[in-house]
Amino acid sequence: MSFNSASPLSDILYVFLDRDGVVNRKPPGDRFVTRWEEFELLPGVEEAIAKLNRSGCKVIVVTNQRGVALGLYSLKDLEQMHDQLRKVLAQRGARLDGIYVCPHEDGQCNCRKPLTGLFEQAFEDFPEARAENSLVVGDSLRDIEAGVRMGMRTVLVIGEGDSKMVEERARQLANVLVTSLGELVDRHLSGEYHR
């Protein structure tokens, strides 16, 4: 599966990444990453983000963090984890241009994916961002549905996933299927991104 010719990737300027399952390894079951010691970057993520940075793309994380609502970690804990993430990426010449977090339970907000509040916040902060020049990369149906609702092109990272039915629905909605962020950048983006 690939992007069709009606939606070329040469106009992508904003890449929105889910965190758990795209940037770092998602804990099994219903567990959460609650501290930096549990945060395991997926192979090739630093270099993939650095390539996107060098291409001129803004790289923005949009992440549901329900563990805050459950009291498993605080917003301060989350900020510290994200500060550490930024430091590790910087050591490899990579950076995140923004991180947007939903700390809520279902039904308490308009920002928990598949709702679009996190993207709307980012679009306010990055006025040049539009659905037409943005791409969302996620590993779940929630991520893909949020992208579709925003009118953005969508990429599903196939890995440990939801139920077969949920995974199949995400596959049907996504424009592209990949096994990692590195694969997306190398196979679909890098050749068209050198300006």
Q: For residue 130, is pLDDT > 80?
A: yes
For residues 15-41, average pLDDT: 95
Q: What residues contact 180, with CB distance under 8 A and at least 6 apart? A: 42, 43, 44, 45, 48, 157
Confidence (pLDDT) at 189 = 72
Q: Known catalytic residues?
A: 18, 20
For residues 125-146, average pLDDT: 95
- CA atoms of 185 and 157, how far apart (whole Å): 12
Q: Which domains can be identified in the chain, with CATH numbers?
A: 9-189 (3.40.50.1000)
Output the CA angle 128-134-138, nearest 5 degrees: 140
- CA atoms of 90 and 31, how far apart (whole Å): 28
44-64 pLDDT, tens per residue?
A: 999 999 999 999 999 999 999
pTM listed for this prediction: 0.90
* H-helix or E-strand spanning residue 157: strand 153-157
Question: Higher model confidence: residue 160 or residue 99?
Answer: 99
